[in-house]
Amino acid sequence: MSALDDPTDANLAPSIADAPAGVSDHLIAAGAFSEGERNAVYRAIETRRDVRDQFRSDPLPEDLVRRLLQAAHSAPSVGFMQPWNFILIRQPETRERVWQAFHQANEEACAMFEGDRRAQYQRLKLEGIRKAPLSICITCDTTRGGPVVLGRTHNPATDVYSTVCAVQNLWLAARAEGVGVGWVSIFHEEAIKTILGIPEHVKIVAWLCVGYVDELYDMPELSVKGWRDRLPLDRLIFEECWQDGEEP
Amino acid sequence: MSALDDPTDANLAPSIADAPAGVSDHLIAAGAFSEGERNAVYRAIETRRDVRDQFRSDPLPEDLVRRLLQAAHSAPSVGFMQPWNFILIRQPETRERVWQAFHQANEEACAMFEGDRRAQYQRLKLEGIRKAPLSICITCDTTRGGPVVLGRTHNPATDVYSTVCAVQNLWLAARAEGVGVGWVSIFHEEAIKTILGIPEHVKIVAWLCVGYVDELYDMPELSVKGWRDRLPLDRLIFEECWQDGEEP
């Protein structure tokens, strides 16, 4: 697309010296990465784990945390809404209160499983809130960008989807930094909102436990522990339309 | 954690020869990536774009598409639910029908903006459904894994969050492969479900337009086109609790 094709930027400048960069000036070459770079991206994707117990206790350097947040902030967002905030929680007292909220919800969760499955559930460690030195609460401000947001007109939940993309960016960057991340989802949202003073119009999307790790599982922990196996990818791919069949 | 610490695996084997691999055998060294690998991960994160118009028309090799889907399938999922399916749509007739559904919804969306903003909206190209050679519809089966899913007990939407993580994995892998991805969200879900025959209990999370690109914008397209600017990261970071203040 040339600048002349674009009605928003063409011919707005009073002189060449004052001319803003045209839209086409922002298009830059963007081919495939080198094989080594590509492998690094796939390595982050394939070896990323949901960490519950492998956290070291030493604090993360400020510049490293900043890189993780910058990665999160580089996520796609509907209408460039950028609806996220990042609350960094290091105080042990706050993490203890959040752990209590988790613990209560986890007892409720446990009671929903039957028999052997309940016993198996009880043996799983599902969070590292107190062990990891840093927690990051990632929120979504549903009002940011005003009442009508481009791209969000037909599915209001796309603001939360954007925020989840930020979580996944942070998680992959963390893997490359030797930092483990565990996503805790077992709590009543209102309990955590009360602890952190989060207003009504802001949703909690993720509570992340973050800390250095020396070791990770070579496959998802719930698979290692016998809870549930990886599904075969072939059964999840359909051509052209939905295909009914055996449940994967 | 040693195998002896873990009640699920310890001492279950009748003999050494028959012993299953212990849980601890699955823990492997996992430090930081090399500087080059780390930079590659950040490069994918920072240069990924939501592509609407830069698609080339040549088809993507099957093995490349497979790598993208494998990346998606490596996403974290609540309770290892893996609720996603990937519908690959290449037929132009189907993509035309989906474009019509987009077009109708986009007219509705346009009417929600006022004055100059509406004129600006009309000038934006918001999808590449017909131009990109491949569309991938990524869905979330809300029933997979049964009525009680570990980690989903207190927020049922975590299955959709998992599916969004799969989208973001695919998107970053695509960037490394020189492939552009555009996420279309402007449609009535029921219209697309009808076209693809998607059942009631399955949600559409993303419609992705996918194709090779030679060029990408050096910043988000909506920023290049003057729709909305990047927010300063500093104003999105809070310490220890929510901090009220000026809206970012």
Domain assignment present for A24: no
Q: Tell me the pLDDT tens digit for each residue of B1-54.
A: 333 333 333 333 333 444 456 788 999 999 999 999 999 999 999 999 999 999
- For residue A134, what are the β-bridge partners? A210
Domain assignment present for B130: yes
CA distances from B78 to A86, A185, B74 (A): 21, 8, 13
Q: Is the pTM of this model over 0.95?
A: no
Residue A148 belongs to a domain with what CATH number? 3.40.109.10
- Contact between chains at B151 and A215 (C-beta distance less than 8 A): no
Name the amino acid, one letter, at A13: A
Domain count of the fold of chain A: 1
pLDDT of A94: 98
Residue B134 is classified by DSSP as E
Chain B residue numbers touching A8 (CB-CB < 8 A): 120, 123, 225-226
Name the amino acid, one letter, at A99: W
Chain A residue numbers touching B43 (CB-CB < 8 A): 33, 37
- Contact of B82 with chain A, judged by CB distance below 8 Å, is answered with yes
Q: How far apart are CA A47 and CA A54, in angstroms?
A: 14
pLDDT of B151: 96
Domain assignment present for B116: yes
Domain assignment present for B39: no
Chain B residue with CA closest to A3: the answer is B225
- Contact of B232 with chain A, judged by CB distance below 8 Å, is answered with no
Domain assignment present for B27: no
Question: Counting every residue, how long is chain B?
Answer: 248
Q: How far apart are CA A121 and CA A204, in angstroms?
A: 25
CB-count exposure of residue B233 (10 Å: 0-12, 13-18, 19+): middle
Q: Tell me the pLDDT tens digit for each residue of B96-147.
A: 999 999 999 999 999 999 999 999 999 999 999 999 999 999 999 999 999 9
Chain B residue with CA closest to A10: the answer is B225
Chain B residue numbers touching A167 (CB-CB < 8 A): 161, 165
Q: Which domain holds residue A84?
A: 51-215
Q: How far apart are CA B12 and CA A105, in angstroms?
A: 31
Domain assignment present for B24: no
Domain assignment present for A131: yes
Domain assignment present for A150: yes
* Residue-level pLDDT, tens digit, chain A, 248 residues: 333 333 333 333 333 444 456 788 999 999 999 999 999 999 999 999 999 999 999 999 999 999 999 999 999 999 999 999 999 999 999 999 999 999 999 999 999 999 999 999 999 999 999 999 999 999 999 999 999 999 999 999 999 999 999 999 999 999 999 999 999 999 999 999 999 999 999 999 999 999 999 999 999 999 999 999 999 999 999 999 999 876 77
Q: Tell me the pLDDT tens digit for each residue of B52-106.
A: 999 999 999 999 999 999 999 999 999 999 999 999 999 999 999 999 999 999 9
- Rama region for A98: left / alpha / beta (φ>0; ψ in -120 to 50; rest): alpha
Q: How far apart are CA B91 and CA B101, in angstroms?
A: 16
Q: Which of B27, B48, B56, B195 is the best mutation test for A, with the most CBs of A within 10 A?
A: B27
